[in-house]
Amino acid sequence: MARTQTDSPLLFDIPVRPDFTLERAVIRDGLAPVAGLDEAGRGPLAGPVVAAAVILDPERIPDGLDDSKRMPPETREMLYSAIFNTAVAVSVASVSASSIDRSDILRASLEAMRRALRGLCVQPAFALADGRDIPPGLPCAARAVVKGDQRSQSIAAASIVAKVTRDRMMMRSATVNPHYGFETHVGYATERHRSAIVEHGPITRLHRMTFAPFRL
């Protein structure tokens, strides 16, 4: 039986840092501009999933773009500003915890990416989406790229914008709900967060009630 081909690269094929190789190949085929898509917040117990779409200017790519999870918060914040100052277009969208509960986290993540792409002020000709799935309903052709935030600078830029935006949203939630420690864990299942849930209960429309431990 023939094996199904996958876009997942071998370990030694993943660059040390993402570059613009995938984008250049698409541009050479006459499909420009190219947008990168990524999301943040698939795993937390609380808060929305946030996605970003970024069209980089090939002549003004900020130095240091990488998977947002591989850098400290201060570096993410610096690159967040650099992306907004240099990119051709940036768009951000989110899907709430309640909407996640009504569908599932994968569908919600893809929907957030679809909304982000459609929100760009410049129409992309092609999109590179992080992960194994192409979001349905995109206005252009697209390719799913496994570990895309470590391979494509456009996807890495989107991962940074999505992560910083979501972290800021959860930090703002901490000012309204100070007992849960959102300013430190931004909704992930830390010991402090779980203890606060036991003591104070879940927050309606902020906690994901279909996630453990709530659905148990």
In the predicted structure, residue 4 carries a pLDDT above the cut 50? no
The amino acid sitting at 40 is A
The pTM assigned to this predicted structure is 0.91
Residue-by-residue DSSP string for 122-174: S--SEEEEESS-PPTT-SSEEEEETTGGGTBHHHHHHHHHHHHHHHHHHHHHH
Contacts of 146-150 with CB under 8 Å at 24 or more apart are 146/6, 146/7, 146/8, 146/9, 147/8, 147/9, 147/14, 148/36, 148/38, 149/18, 149/38, 149/66, 149/67, 149/68, 149/69, 150/14, 150/15, 150/17, 150/18, 150/66, 150/67, 150/70
Band the pLDDT of 213: cuts 50, 70, 90. Answer: confident
Per-residue pLDDT, averaged over 94-101, amounts to 98
3: pLDDT confidence band, cut at 50, 70 and 90? very low
- The rounded mean pLDDT for the chain is 93
β-partners of residue 18 are none
Over the stretch 164-196, which tens digit does the pLDDT of each residue have? 999 999 999 999 999 999 999 999 999 999 999
Domains of the chain: 12-200 (3.30.420.10)
Give the pLDDT of residue 214. 87
Question: Average of pLDDT values for 130-159?
Answer: 97
